[in-house]
Structure 1
Amino acid sequence: MRILLLGGTAFVGRAIAADALESGHDVTLFGRGKTGTDLFPEATRLIGDRDTGDYASLRTGEWDAVVDISGYQSREVDQAMDVLGDRVGRYVFISSHAVYPRTGVAPGSDESLGRRDPLRSADVLDNDTYGPCKVACEDDVLARYGERATLVRPGKVTGPHDSSDTVLYWVRRGARGGRVVVPTRLEQPIQLTDVRDLGRLVMRLIVDDRGGAFNAVGPESTIGELMTLAAEIAGVPAQWVQVPADVVPADLPLVLPEAEWSSRQRNPAKARAAGMPVTPLRQTIADILAWDRDRGEPPLVS
């Protein structure tokens, strides 16, 4: 199949491209050409910039499916769809579980849960605007492609090449051992999506020509288990010291107020049935630590 990826190859796009190429598909990568330029020499590369509306390189060509990885606001998605039109078969939009309300939701909610109100543009994407902007993007993709639209809603995605300071912060902290300050209860739920599982799901949805929405979330776990596994894999003793949230920086990654805990307890049954694998959390953490060690990066914490 001919597959077009809209977005870079630093992390999520990298995993999707790798899975597609390993499965023998013809892959075209559209982006600014600033990340992963040494990756995937067998893929076709088209240069453009969604920030400036530069889609000139997409004005010719046909693809069986497009995977929109880098659409965050409706303007970006609408411009891409205007250019591509009916020269693509299925439009797979990488959305987010942030389209759902953060509070007032029972654990185990599925794709039938009502979404937040759409927001067509925002000067800054944060906890208040990111999800609603993704809702607006979803609406536009559905309006344009109907049954040919597929919406993938990942939870927090992690794995090798995840250079953000969210999951990596706590994995590194646990792997250092010693006394670790934890400004939440150890049983706070987390639901981490291994990026390789996400890549596999996207490709299964394309090959099977599946439309609809899918919660691409990982197995239920806790922040305590995350750090305990990191310490065990690193072979170091560790002690968790729980403190009130208001005595540490308010922006520590992954830490949520208890009212939002159910937002990390989504039902992944539909995505699993569609072919999304489940990498054990221990394996994901071990692979993150190995990648982090091999790249020789300094720690995020002192």
Structure 2
Amino acid sequence: MRLLVLGGTGFVGGATVTEGVRRGWSVTVFNRGLHGVVPPGVHRLRGDRTAPDGLAALAGGDWDLVVDTWDGAPRAARDAARVLAHSVGHYVYVSSGSVYRDPSAHGLDEDSPVVDADADSVDGDYPQLKAGAERAVREVFGDRALIARAGLILGPGEDVGRLPWWLRRVERGGDVLAPGPAGLSVQYVDVRDLAGWMLDAGARRLGGTVNAVGRREQTTMGELLDACVAVTGADALLRWTDPARIVAAGVQPWSDLPIWMPTGHPYRGLLEQDVTRAHAAGLTCRPVAETVADTWQWLREVGAVPPRAGRPHRSSIGLDPTREAAVLAA
């Protein structure tokens, strides 16, 4: 298989490239060449898809499959799709569950309404950018396009810093503010499982839209944080705290306490999506303990969460220790 990855040095793109190489495929990446590295043997094409003639390096290429992780202007996704229309057999676009119009709804499936978006737009918020790019890719590739709506993505290489923050916090030890209840489900997908599934699905020319994330009952906050304690070997005590108390103290779910999204939160539906289609199409997910252990090993090797490709100023993730202590004391 001849694989082209648009991007290829970030979190999802990097995992996709690594998986392609592992399979012995011929792998090419297209990016600006400003961030990250690629494995030996990967062919690197340089270009800026937002610049005039920025896609010129793709001219004359011939690939079986392209995976595109773009999260910028939909017009740029449309332009890339048009350039590749006759040189790529199948197009996989990595989208997001954030495109759904009502993120609080339980059981969102692929036919649930999405936000209004324009395939020719050059700006917008994240849901609009992803939804617009979905439309752009479909307009060009039609049934030859797979739209993979990923949910929460964890695993080695994570450049947002959600699971790495919990690992470092637990490593410090002591009393840890753990957002209850411990049995609250966490729906996510390991980046390696996502990458492998996208390559499998793309190779067999699966089209349409799929919520590409694990099952809702895959794990819980308790299992995830217990795994963090186990792999770090830290002297940490998880202090499970009522979510109402945490929110009343001004602590923000998802940002101050990453991964956690309590019941009743306006975006809780994004961790309760219907994934019937994905798992019928072969998506399988490894245990949370493996994801946590491998992320910890990677984090110890790299030392710190890398900057997101093209987004050097990452928003703050995690709760300040002073604020955490105040909530625990109360």
Instruction: Give CA deviations for 1:48-72 in whole Å, capped at 9, x if unaligned.
Output: 1123351111122121121111243
For 1:49, the equivalent position in structure 2 comes to: 48
For 2:154, the equivalent position in structure 1 comes to: 158
Distance 1:270 1:172 in 2: 35
Change (3 A) 1:241 1:56: same
What amino acid is aligned across from residue 72 of structure 2 in structure 1? Y
What amino acid is aligned across from residue 61 of structure 1 in structure 2? G
1:235 corresponds, among 233, 256, 275, to 233
For 1:224, the equivalent position in structure 2 comes to: 222
For 1:194, the equivalent position in structure 2 comes to: 190
Distance 1:282 1:201 in 2: 20
Change (3 A) 1:226 1:175: farther
For 1:254, the equivalent position in structure 2 comes to: 259
Q: TM-score, normalised by structure 1?
A: 0.88
**Structure 1 position 104, deviation (Å):** 4.4
Paired residues, number? 296
For 1:26, the equivalent position in structure 2 comes to: 26
Structure 1 residues 94-243: aligned runs within 5 Å: 94-106=94-106, 108-119=107-118, 121=121, 123=123, 129-182=125-178, 185-220=181-216, 221-236=219-234, 237-242=236-241, 243=245
Distance 1:246 1:164 in 2: 26
Change (3 A) 1:181 1:273: same
What amino acid is aligned across from residue 194 of structure 1 in structure 2? D
Task: Please state whether the residue corresponding to 2:86 is helix, strand or coil.
Answer: helix
**Structure 1 position 265, deviation (Å):** 1.4
Check the 8 A contact 1:177/1:239 in 2, yes or no: no
**Structure 1 position 165, deviation (Å):** 2.3
For 1:280, the equivalent position in structure 2 comes to: 287
**Structure 1 position 249, deviation (Å):** 4.4
For 1:14, the equivalent position in structure 2 comes to: 14
Task: Please state whether the residue corresponding to 1:52 is helix, strand or coil.
Answer: coil
Check the 8 A contact 2:95/2:134 in 1, yes or no: yes
Change (3 A) 1:263 1:297: closer
For 1:4, the equivalent position in structure 2 comes to: 4
Check the 8 A contact 1:8/1:32 in 2, yes or no: no
Unaligned runs of 5+ in 2: 306-316, 322-330
Check the 8 A contact 2:151/2:270 in 1, yes or no: no
Check the 8 A contact 1:69/1:93 in 2, yes or no: yes
Distance 1:272 1:104 in 2: 23
For 2:246, the equivalent position in structure 1 comes to: 244
Distance 1:41 1:178 in 2: 43
Task: Please state whether the residue corresponding to 1:86 is helix, strand or coil.
Answer: coil
**Structure 1 position 198, deviation (Å):** 0.8
Instruction: Give CA deviations for 1:208-233 in whole Å, capped at 9, x if unaligned.
Output: 11111111112433333321221122
261-270 or 181-190, which deviates more? 181-190
The RMSD of aligned alpha carbons is: 2.4
Distance 1:246 1:215 in 2: 33
Check the 8 A contact 2:186/2:220 in 1, yes or no: yes
Task: Please state whether the residue corresponding to 1:77 is helix, strand or coil.
Answer: helix
**Structure 1 position 136, deviation (Å):** 1.4
What amino acid is aligned across from residue 225 of structure 2 in structure 1? M
What amino acid is aligned across from residue 143 of structure 1 in structure 2? E
Distance 1:208 1:286 in 2: 32
Structure 1 residues 58-69: aligned runs within 5 Å: 58-69=58-69
For 2:326, the equivalent position in structure 1 comes to: none
For 1:88, the equivalent position in structure 2 comes to: 88
Change (3 A) 1:175 1:271: farther
Q: TM-score, normalised by structure 2?
A: 0.81
* 1:268 pairs with 2:266: no
Check the 8 A contact 2:227/2:289 in 1, yes or no: yes
Distance 2:104 2:190 in 1: 27
Task: Please state whether the residue corresponding to 1:51 is helix, strand or coil.
Answer: coil
Unaligned runs of 5+ in 1: none
Distance 2:290 2:152 in 1: 16
